[in-house]
Structure 1
Amino acid sequence: MNFFLVLSGKRLKRSLIAVVSLLFAAGIFYVEQKDIQVFLPLESGPVAIYSVDTSDKVIALTFDISWGEERAAPILEVLKENEIKKATFFLSSPWAESHPDIVKSIGDMGYEIGSHGHRHTNYSTLEEQEIRTEIMKAHQALTHLTGKEPKLIRFPNGDFDKRVLKTADQLGYTTIQWDTDSRDWMNPGKEKIIQRVTSKAHPGDIILMHASDSSKQTAEALPEIIRTLRSQGYTFVTVSELISGAEADVNPVE
Structure 2
Amino acid sequence: MTFYTWKAEKIKKYGLVIILALFCAILLWVGQRSQLPVFSNKGEPRALSQGSEDTPYVALTFDISWGSEKVYDILKKLKAYDAHATFFVSGEWAERHPEILEAIQKGNHEVGMLGYRYESYLEQKPAEVDADLRHAKEAFDKLGYENIKWIRPPHGHFDKTVLNQIEKEGLQTVQWSINPRDWENPGTNKIINQVLEKSSKGDIILLHASDSVKQTSNALDVIIPGLKQKGLKFVSITELANGGKAKTTQVN
Say whether the fold is shared (TM-score over 0.5): yes
Match of 1:181, SS state, is: coil
Give the aligned residue type for 2:104.
I
Alignment pair present for 1:80 and 2:79: yes
Paired residues in the alignment total 221
Which of residues 197, 200, 204 is equivalent to 1:199?
197
1:106-153 Cα deviation digits (max 9, x unpaired): 011111000111122210222222111101111111222244321000
The answer to whether the 8 A contact 2:55-2:244 is kept is no
- Name the CA distance, whole Å, in 1 between partners of 2:61 and 2:207: 6
The answer to whether the 8 A contact 1:63-1:90 is kept is yes
- Name the CA distance, whole Å, in 2 between partners of 1:244 and 1:136: 26
Q: How does 1:133-172 map to 2 (within 5 A)?
A: 133-172=131-170
- Name the CA distance, whole Å, in 2 between partners of 1:106 and 1:148: 16
Give the aligned residue type for 1:52.
G
The answer to whether the 8 A contact 1:87-1:236 is kept is yes
Give the aligned residue type for 1:49.
L
Post-superposition offset of 1:97: 0.9
1:41-93 Cα deviation digits (max 9, x unpaired): 75541101110232221100000000011210000000011112x21000101
- Name the CA distance, whole Å, in 2 between partners of 1:219 and 1:251: 29
Structure 1 residue runs of 5 or longer lacking an equivalent are: 1-33
Which of residues 159, 171, 174 is equivalent to 1:173?
171
Q: What RMSD over aligned residues (CA atoms) do the two structures have, in Å?
A: 2.3
Match of 1:180, SS state, is: coil
Query: Could you tell me the percent identity over the aligned residues?
Result: 40
Which of residues 90, 108, 119 is equivalent to 2:106?
108
Give the aligned residue type for 2:119.
T
- Name the CA distance, whole Å, in 2 between partners of 1:171 and 1:50: 20
Q: How does 1:2-151 map to 2 (within 5 A)?
A: 42=41, 44-84=43-83, 86-151=84-149
The answer to whether the 8 A contact 1:107-1:146 is kept is no
Post-superposition offset of 1:246: 2.5
2:235 match? 237
Structure 2 residue runs of 5 or longer lacking an equivalent are: 1-25
Q: TM-score, normalised by structure 1?
A: 0.81
1:167-223 Cα deviation digits (max 9, x unpaired): 110110000000000210010111110000011111111000000011111101012
Give the aligned residue type for 1:58.
Y
Higher relative CO (Cα under 8 Å, sequence separation at least 6) belongs to 2
Match of 2:87, SS state, is: strand
- Name the CA distance, whole Å, in 2 between partners of 1:43 and 1:246: 20
